Amino acid sequence: MANSLAFIPPEGEFHVKVTNVMPGLILELEPNYWSEVLKQEFDLSLQTLDFLDYAQDLVSAELGRAGIRLLMEDFRSGERADSLTLEVLSLALIARIARRFQIARHITGAIVPANALSPQRLARVKEYIEANLSRSLSLAALADVACLSASHFGRTFKLITGASPLRYVIGRRVERAKRLLIQHERSIAQIAFDCGFSGQSHLTRTFHDITGITPAVFRKQAMASSRRKS
């Protein structure tokens, strides 16, 4: 069935008879990672989940496709996959599967109070992001700085700032890239690494998505503007 989801617990056996050719995706998530997230977010053990037969689930299907698109783009460009994006997708997929079992009903639609992330904690998170933009940032690391679980941090951060942690980090990386591009001291490839992008093509794609122009065009426009002012 197209856009359907099946879940096989660890050490479970699964047999399928294929009668029609149909594209599919098999995702294998490391059991220790599953166990940690389920315990932290839902206070449940991995053994709580039983076999789930094929069920229509457009959200899970799109999450899987988004992860594959990201991996394929980075594979073609020879760059490493963005760990923060993959972690967010993994957490979303785990939560989605948990909801399919109705084990997360107590948090579905829950409103996280904004004071769960105080101004002081939010400031610490932002300072940590700025200090580590050139490095690989994970949702778990940001949540640790905020002293919250990953899912609670993600929801509260978006509630307060209006942007997900991933979108906020990407925005800050692009802003830093703008400042470095104006200085004309480094190559675009070097700026990409200094801002935490996996390579020049990754920076170019992201920069264009946000600003509508490429880093090279932005640099040329900045140089032209500087000459006019002088």
Q: Is the pLDDT of residue 56 over 80?
A: no
Residue 8's pLDDT is 65
- The overall pTM is greater than 0.85: no
> What is the rounded CA–CA span in Å between residue 213 and residue 31?
42
Stretch 179-202: mean pLDDT, rounded?
Answer: 93
| Of 205 and 82, more confident | 205
Instruction: Round the average pLDDT of the chain to a whole number and report it.
Output: 76
> What is the rounded CA–CA span in Å between residue 206 and residue 219?
15
| Of 118 and 53, more confident | 118
Q: Is the pLDDT of residue 47 over 80?
A: no
Contact (CB, 8 A) for 44 and 103: yes
Q: Is the C-alpha dihedral spanning 40, 44, 46, 51 positive or negative?
A: negative
| Of 162 and 38, more confident | 162
Residue 87's pLDDT is 72
